[in-house]
Homo-oligomer: A and B are copies of this chain.
Amino acid sequence: MSTVERSGETRADRKEPAYLRIAEELREQIASGQLDPNDPLPPERDLCVDHNVSRMTARRALTVLESEGLIYRSATRGTFVSEPRVQLRLGSFSQEISRAGKQPGAQLIWSETQSATTGVARALGIATDADVYALQRLRSSNGEPLALETTYYPSDLVPGFLDGDLSGSLWTEIRGRFGVVVARTTARLEVIALDTTLAEQLGARPASSGLLLTRRTFTADGRCMEYAQDVYRADRVSLVIDRAVDE
């Protein structure tokens, strides 16, 4: 290829990059309902022709919409409009999904007794190397994976916890079996990029956005009974937070 020749476009829109203009146009079509959830978008090569751009530019426009959670791509099938995000109230995954009339899922990935690393020990307020129960679960709604949840519990507080039922609400399980009642929770939330492993587990693209919720749960007497790191698919979830204001 030699010199880049600008095609005879109008000179008016010189400021707005082509990929943003195309993204805008497709976004409009989705917002207006011309395209419904799971409807296919035009193939990338068609978008190139329609908008008179190269494929890299058309792809860039789609990547913008993908990062907004408006579309999803399948390498062999095409590009499609996403379903609306799932609303989750903070702190009760199963309950929230059920309320929305969907089927909550909790697939156990692993569970084991560990000796606490310094980070986990500090979070739980126990001695380093003390025994903790750790488990990882993939949380889903109607079979769609939404979050990967890794939780830690001091073993002395909930002895034999891992032998129980780990397929539902763990708070309910803990209250029922050990009489331990949850009183307060602290969480830090940030947007991260999903690494290759996480992306694969969540069925998302590597380097796409995730919501990392690092949280601690306390009993009425102020003891930390749970330390958790939850990673949500940022494109599929919105979080609802209710809170009393302590002034």
Whether B67 pairs with A245 at a CB distance below 8 angstroms is no
- Mark contacts of A193-228 with chain B using CB atoms, 8 A cut-off: 1 yes-contact digit, 0 otherwise: 100100000000011010100000100000000000
Q: Is residue A167 within 8 Å, beta carbon to beta carbon, of the partner chain?
A: no
Nearest Cβ distance between residue A59 and chain B, in whole angstroms?
11
Query: Is A230 part of the binding interface, using a Cβ–Cβ cutoff of 8 Å?
Result: no
Q: Contact between B188 and A191 (Cβ–Cβ < 8 Å)? A: no
The answer on a CB contact under 8 Å between B187 and A234 is no
Q: Does A49 contact B (CB under 8 A)?
A: no
CB-based contact B241/A241 at 8 Å: yes
Contacts of A175 in B (CB 8 A): 247
- Which bracket fits the contact residues of A? 35 or more
A23-B207, A192-B68 given; A243·B242 CB < 8 A: yes
Cβ contact within 8 Å between B189 and A239:
yes
- Indicate if the CB atoms of B206 and A20 lie closer than 8 Å: yes
Chain A 86-115 interface mask (CB, 8 Å, partner B; 1/0): 010011000000000000000000000000
Q: Of B190, B193, B207, which contacts A239 at CB under 8 A?
A: B190
Among listed A40-48, A126-134, A157-165, A177-185, interface-contacting one:
A177-185
Task: Closest B residue to A196 by CB, please name it.
Answer: B20
Interface centre among A182, A238, A241 (most CB of B within 10 A): A241
Separation of A192 and B90 alpha carbons in the complex (Å): 19
A190 to B69, CA, bound (A): 10
**B238 pairs with A190, CB closer than 8 A:** yes
A217 to B245, CA, bound (A): 9
Residue of B nearest to A17 (CB): B206
Rounded to whole angstroms, the CA-CA distance of A69 and B206 in the bound complex is 16
- From known contacts A20-B207, A209-B209, infer whether A245 and B185 are also in contact, taking CB-CB under 8 Å: yes
Residues of B within 8 A of A191 (CB): 69, 191, 209, 211, 234-235
Q: A20-B207, A185-B243, A189-B189 given; name 14 further pairs at CB < 8 Å.
A: A56-B56, A67-B193, A90-B241, A90-B243, A184-B242, A185-B245, A186-B241, A187-B240, A188-B238, A188-B240, A189-B238, A190-B238, A242-B243, A243-B243
